[in-house]
A and B are shown apart, each in its own frame.
Chain A
Amino acid sequence: MIIGVFFQLVFITGTSVMADEYSLLRQQMVDGIEEDVEITSKYIDKKSFDPAVIQAMNTVPRHQFVPEYLRTQAYQNRPLPIGHGQTISQPYIVALMTDLLQPQPGQRVLEIGTGSGYQAAVLSHLVAQVYSIEIIEELGEATSQLLKRQGYDNVSTRIADGYDGWPQHAPFDSIMVTAAISHIPPPLVQQLKKGGRMVIPVGTRFQTQYLTLVEKDMRGEITTRQLLPVVFVPFTGGH
């Protein structure tokens, strides 16, 4: 009995120490993101991301969304492989894409490409409901269970073709498309609310080359905007 209590105490203490360590690493990660934003503030017309986005980044336990053998690297500002030829995006890119969506409480967001579930988890802290679609069955099911275990009850997932969106829950305030596409799917544009935003990163799994921001104005007209992740911006100043 005493031995059992002893081991339980050791386990609890150990877990608590680990949690503190991750919390510290997470804070360092967020500090790093904020520094990057400051360095390039003159190129993005803002000195910081939305505090709510930063808060969400500081809350979500990123280490839970990476394979166990990579947990020590979870809070480094880099993408990591998660299996199935997929990656969990660089924290900086996640923060940037989330900030571009301008998420607000009460909104509904559609994500195409659930992947690790990390992006959905970040969004779940900022909006009312996240709908996330994954194309790879095995990955989608594993991530769905992980999100449930982590208590992200406002994230709904399904295995389906993201091209068609999720008409049953449309329209959406914003849409995140992390799948490779040759054109912007018209069904997604239709399911985007007037005044809504869609973000599409373009590049390889380990290098986001640029982001496309699709905006639907209040008249329903569409414009797209090509954005470089801010770390690239100095290169494009002038020509």
Chain B
Amino acid sequence: MSALAAKQTPTPPLVSIFILSAAALAYEVLLIRLFSIVHWHHFAFMVISIALLGYGASGSLITVFQRRLLDNYDHVFIINILLFGLSSIVCFVAVQQLPFNALEILWDSSQWQRLLLSYLLLTLPFFFVANAIALTIMRFHQQVPLVYGTDLIGAGVGALLVMLLLLEFSPDKLLRILAIGGLAAGLFALHALSDRQKVLTVSIIVLCMLTIVMTPQQWLALRMSEYKGLSQTLLIKDVSLRLSHNSPISQTDVIHSPFIPFRHAPGLSLQSPAAPPEQLAVFRDGDEMNTIDHVTDNSSLEYHDYMSSSLPYHVHNAAKNTLVLASATGTQILQAHFHGIPRIDAVEPDEQLSLLITDRYADYFGWQNLKDKVSIQTISARGFAAAENHYDLVIMGPSGASAGGAAGVHALSTSYDYTVEALDSYLKLLAPEGLLSITLWTSTPARGNLKLFATAVAAMKNAGISHPEKNIAWIRSWNTATLILKNSELTAEEIRRVRDFSQARSFDLAWLPGIKRDEVNKFQLLQEPVFYLAAQSLLQQSLSAQSTSTGEENSFIRQYKYDIHAATDNRPYFNNYFRWSSLEELLSLPGQAGISMIGVGYPTLLVTLVQAAAAASVLILLPLVFVKTDKKQDGRRSDIIIYFFAIGLAFLFIELAFIQKFTLILSQPLYAVAVALCAFLIFSGLGSLYVQRTIMTGSKIIIPFILRRSVILIGLITVCYIVLLPLISSTIMSLPEIIRIASAFVLAAPLAFVMGMPFPVGIAILQQTRPHFIPWAWGINGCASVLSAILAVLLAIDIGFNGVMLCAVVLYFVAWFSQTKNSA
């Protein structure tokens, strides 16, 4: 190291590191967006998770070749920046050329080879970025907290920047911008080069930038899977793409099909004399179709009366106002309008969807006739429910196409709209005699609707309703089910109306006060009347004071093949039905069919974890084979693994848990991701800079104290948040948006600040004892971060996000204990 130190320049290329880190994080977010459009979100998550192992690979490479690389640091740094800029484009184009079909992966082994090749290609850009940063950390080992802090702050700014850029640019255009931005980082790292080298380097960078600018757009155009709904719709005769709009959360495409009408009418009764009118189809990320009705007169809406979601209008036939939650493209608004509701409030978190019906296609949708009595707010259902309003009817309709839910594509998506706390808050919105109505798609075997029923029963118990069985009506059509909840008992007249409505439309009764088994399963026959059996069992348990007091699990829920436990804010995975006890049976089914019974989401996560763990093990252990070490001098190496692995896992555990907590506070998942990433990375960066200042001004002896203090503070603050956040959330949820965003920043600040300390402190300790292991530690930390993102979701599904945060605290303490000997 002394030879290296002699060549050391006084300050690290902080501007370059800042830009590079910002570009890399923005690129990561962008790739998830791009692959969510091209394939599906869960595959995007899998591919990008594995690609991030580029950070681990970098650590391994530098560990083995550190002397040679550091001797040429100035050149290697710039070369890696150049390679990041170029590979970010080239690798994406190359991956797009691979004929990879995610849906065929269970049938065709060659798909696995293509997937592996995708991993390898997408790993490269992250590998180059990690090389540049890790080598800088090595080269400027006296200023590790400064470099690391700059890296984190840059990444935080990148997180915010990519969200803003995605509002303006389509993902494929943004790819160019980020690549050029990444290359620009090289222009700020020229100071160590000779004049001739500077000219040459600037020329190369400018040439690369020009090449990226000149790259034909068709090379970068997204090649969406031909099996996505949008791709297939575009094959139909005379279909035209009316509008394509990108936002940070989705790509919205509006399609017109004059030759073959869409006729989207979830669960329309076979008794319906009316068909849907002409419609525009609205696809999100090429799937999840919603429609906009072409409203000409009231008769064009008659079909709305023949869907199961129309039930509440018949039960409460004097409703004066209605609240439509998650109104999307307005189907439920039209249904309320058709039933003559005088005042309709609607909430939809995705403003783009609302703008389609109130602005772009306002005439088509008939907004002119609606605008005086309908208001649409851009907010989530939960955010709105925190306010104190009262409605005769509160409505949630089915959204998107049905296949996604059954296929388990959304299994890993959190939803705060269908938790016990959510339903509880919706019930509080009801006026006396008001009804809450929720319609979902059905699947076979039944799962989502049963989970909704369990959640509803739990919510009613929370609300102090002692006999929920008297307050619930539940019906089902061929492919939808509608659940009605009331704060008071359903009257005999209301029960009669449910029966009449269902009979006239050939819908099946699933639950009504006083229902008998021989009344169910009449029209849409199931092998077993599972809806009725589930309702009966869940409601019986709710009556049992003993089982409630002992917390005994309902036998139906316990024995059912799917996880249909009530979803809560702590475990908001409403769409996940996987249970470990069913895995063996499912996998033993002939013909690999079991996988579609589980749904693809959870297995994808498991496969990703196994792949990432295997790759991480190799990347962590491989350098040890090549690096000659002095056992006496180096001592145990397990403490390095434990420390850096533990803090890598823990950091992401807490960060991901806060994204979830902020989703509830900010009402918008997009804001939650942007604010949490930005706040955590920037404040952690500041924490790291604080460590730098402390080390510079104090003695090295202070390092162990910083570690101890930071870990204890992390533990204390986290535990405080676990206890207080639900209270804080409910207090600030109804405040103006800007205050909620500011509050989220303030909430994240103290915890993130102390979380920024353990990594630079660990590196500082390592530098005192075993500096040649610094890149290895960097790689271990990178691998752990990748595994952490996957593990956090797996853990949250089973133990909730509070459990994930507690695990993080334990990991920080494990890390501290692993260093007590070294730091002493």
Interface of B is mostly: loop
- Do the beta carbons of B530 and A207 come within 8 Å of each other? no
- Residue A180 lies at the interface, judged by CB distance under 8 Å to chain B: yes
- Do the beta carbons of B590 and A231 come within 8 Å of each other? yes
- Nearest CB on A from B103, distance (A): 4
Q: How far is the CA of A163 from the CA of B533 in the complex (A)?
A: 35
- Do the beta carbons of A232 and B597 come within 8 Å of each other? yes
- Residue A234 lies at the interface, judged by CB distance under 8 Å to chain B: yes
Q: Which residues of A contact B (CB under 8 A)?
A: 36, 39-40, 77-79, 81, 83-85, 90, 92, 135-139, 159, 161, 163, 180, 182-186, 189, 202-207, 209-210, 212, 222-226, 228-229, 231-232, 234-236, 238-239
Q: How far is the CA of A210 from the CA of B597 in the complex (A)?
A: 10
- What's the interface size class on B, roughly? 35 or more
CB-defined contacts of B525 to chain A, threshold 8 Å: 223-226
Q: Which of B407, B444, B506, B582 contacts A204 (CB 8 A)?
A: B407
Known: A135-B236, A231-B589. A204 touches B266 (CB 8 A): no
Known: A136-B236, A203-B407, A239-B560. A161 touches B259 (CB 8 A): yes
- Nearest CB on A from B423, distance (A): 24
Bitwise, B508-538 to A at CB < 8 A (1) or not (0) is 0000000000000011111110100100000
CB-defined contacts of A180 to chain B, threshold 8 Å: 229, 401, 403
- Chain B's closest residue to A212 (CB) is B478
- Residue B593 lies at the interface, judged by CB distance under 8 Å to chain A: yes
Known: A161-B261, A186-B272, A239-B556. A222 touches B594 (CB 8 A): no
CB-defined contacts of A85 to chain B, threshold 8 Å: 226-228, 231-232, 235
Known: A231-B589, A232-B597. A186 touches B270 (CB 8 A): yes
Q: How far is the CA of A133 from the CA of B101 in the complex (A)?
A: 27
CB-defined contacts of A223 to chain B, threshold 8 Å: 522-525
CB-defined contacts of A83 to chain B, threshold 8 Å: 226
- Chain A's closest residue to B533 (CB) is A239
- Residue B265 lies at the interface, judged by CB distance under 8 Å to chain A: yes
Q: Which residues of B contact A (CB under 8 A)?
A: 101, 103-104, 106-107, 226-229, 231-232, 235-237, 259-261, 263-268, 270, 272, 275, 401-403, 406-407, 443-445, 478-479, 506, 522-528, 530, 533, 556, 559-561, 582, 585-586, 589-591, 593-597
Known: A92-B591, A183-B265. A202 touches B235 (CB 8 A): no
Known: A205-B103, A206-B106, A210-B444. A231 touches B591 (CB 8 A): yes
Q: How far is the CA of A77 from the CA of B754 in the complex (A)?
A: 57
Q: How far is the CA of A229 from the CA of B445 in the complex (A)?
A: 12
- Do the beta carbons of B444 and A209 come within 8 Å of each other? yes
A and B contact pairs by CB, cutoff 8 A, 28 listed: A40-B590, A79-B107, A81-B104, A84-B235, A85-B227, A85-B232, A163-B261, A163-B263, A186-B275, A189-B270, A206-B103, A207-B103, A207-B595, A207-B596, A209-B406, A209-B443, A209-B444, A210-B443, A222-B523, A223-B524, A223-B525, A224-B523, A225-B524, A228-B445, A231-B593, A235-B445, A235-B585, A239-B559
- Chain B's closest residue to A183 (CB) is B268
- Do the beta carbons of A235 and B259 come within 8 Å of each other? no
Give 4 closest A-B pairs by Cβ, nearest first.
A183-B268, A85-B226, A210-B444, A207-B596
- Nearest CB on A from B64, distance (A): 42
CB-defined contacts of A228 to chain B, threshold 8 Å: 444-445
Q: How far is the CA of A209 from the CA of B589 in the complex (A)?
A: 14
- Do the beta carbons of B235 and A136 come within 8 Å of each other? yes
Q: Which of B272, B506, B526 contacts A226 (CB 8 A)?
A: B526
- Chain B's closest residue to A139 (CB) is B235
Q: How far is the CA of A239 from the CA of B591 in the complex (A)?
A: 22
- Nearest CB on A from B571, distance (A): 22
- Chain A's closest residue to B555 (CB) is A239
- Nearest CB on A from B661, distance (A): 34
CB-defined contacts of B586 to chain A, threshold 8 Å: 235
- Nearest CB on B from A161, distance (A): 5
- Nearest CB on A from B441, distance (A): 9
Additional 13 contacts, C-beta under 8 A, given A84-B232, A138-B235, A226-B527: A39-B590, A78-B107, A161-B259, A161-B260, A182-B265, A182-B402, A186-B268, A203-B406, A206-B106, A223-B523, A226-B526, A229-B593, A235-B561
